[in-house]
Amino acid sequence: MKYVLYLVCAVALSAPVFGQTQIGERKVRLGFKLDPVFLNNLKPADDGIKRDGAKFGISYGIMADILFNDEKGAFATGLEIVHAGGSLKYDAGIDKGLRRTEAAALNAAQQYDFNLQYLQIPLSLKLKTPEQNKFTWWGQFGTYTGFLIGARTDISYGNVSEDKVKINKHTVPLNMGLLLGAGGEYRIAERTDLYFGLGFESGFTDVTRNKRWNDDKVTLKRWALRIGIFL
């Protein structure tokens, strides 16, 4: 798949970096992550549009912590593939949605089940406790920028059903939002740490193109487990 190729290329380009331990005078830790997303949902701002269910998802990619000189914190970034989505219901009789004209002829509600993929770059401040009994605890606050690499939706209204409709041209290509997280690390070797925690992402940019959907802002929110390893 195309979005997998993006990450493969990114890993190939970053391979030489894994041999480095510093950027300037700052130490750098690199690793891989696989985050199960147990709650994806889309939040509409319009009356007559409702959330119609949440979805599971997944994120995976490369992590990079650029450590402070005292190693009590870091600038955390990386590169990841994000699978997101959610379901929306547009009530019958409102002049909104991709199939509003067709649905109006049937006086039917419209339902959309979104599947979205982004190439995402997080950027956050991570603060850490001193290591004790091989455990270190951390909290983070920051932002992220996601670049759309795939968008499809299942559409239904009345007795009409359409599966896996491509909507890249009907979806805003950039997704940005707030990033929060907390968790810990467990040292299993001199330079190897297991990474775990809980993360929350709350988008503040629109997902749907308003001229196409004739709607107001729709934002993406996600809760995920953080699982990975630093090398």
Residue 20: inside a domain? no
Confidence label for 121 from pLDDT (cuts 50, 70 and 90): very high
Strand partners, 32: 62, 229
Residue 16: inside a domain? no
Whole-angstrom distance, CA of residue 223 vs CA of residue 83: 12
Looking at residue 101, its pLDDT comes to 95
Whole-angstrom distance, CA of residue 13 vs CA of residue 7: 10
Confidence label for 4 from pLDDT (cuts 50, 70 and 90): very low
In angstroms, what CA-CA distances link 158 with 14, 87, 91, 111, 152?
Answer: 50, 17, 12, 10, 20
The rounded mean pLDDT for the chain is: 91
Residue 18: inside a domain? no
Looking at residue 183, its pLDDT comes to 98
**Does the pLDDT at position 136 exceed 70?**
yes
Query: Which residue type does 65 have?
Result: D
Report whether 28 contacts 76 (CB < 8 A): no
Looking at residue 54, its pLDDT comes to 84
The domain in which residue 107 lies consists of 2-6+28-230
Looking at residue 25, its pLDDT comes to 60
Looking at residue 72, its pLDDT comes to 86
Query: Which CATH number do you get for residue 45?
Result: 2.40.160.20
Instruction: Using alpha carbons only, give the angle 139, 180, 217 rounded to the nearest 5 degrees.
Output: 175
Kindly report which listed range (48-52, 71-75, 225-229) carries the lowest average pLDDT score.
Answer: 71-75
For residue 229, what are the contacts with CB-CB under 8 A and spacing of at least 6?
31, 32, 33, 192, 193, 194, 195
Q: What is the pLDDT of residues 170-219, one digit of tens each?
A: 999 999 999 999 999 999 998 899 999 999 999 999 999 999 999 999 99
Higher pLDDT, 54 or 66: 66
Looking at residue 107, its pLDDT comes to 95
Name the strand (E) or helix (H) holding 11. Answer: helix 2-14
Whole-angstrom distance, CA of residue 117 vs CA of residue 130: 37
Pairing of strands 26-44, 218-230: antiparallel
Most confident of 7-11, 18-22, 147-151: 147-151
- According to DSSP, residue 19 is labeled G
C-alpha torsion 75→26→30→120, nearest 10 = 40
Residue 190: inside a domain? yes
**Does the pLDDT at position 9 exceed 60?**
no
- Domain total of the chain: 1
Residue 19: inside a domain? no
Looking at residue 5, its pLDDT comes to 47
Whole-angstrom distance, CA of residue 228 vs CA of residue 230: 7
Burial of 159 (0-12, 13-18, 19+ CB in 10 A): exposed
Residue 177: inside a domain? yes
3-class secondary structure, 18: helix
Q: Other C-beta atoms within 10 Å of 155: how many?
A: 20
Residue 21: inside a domain? no
Confidence label for 132 from pLDDT (cuts 50, 70 and 90): very high
- Find the mean pLDDT for residues 106-132: 97
Residue 12: inside a domain? no
**Does the pLDDT at position 1 exceed 60?**
no
Higher pLDDT, 2 or 198: 198
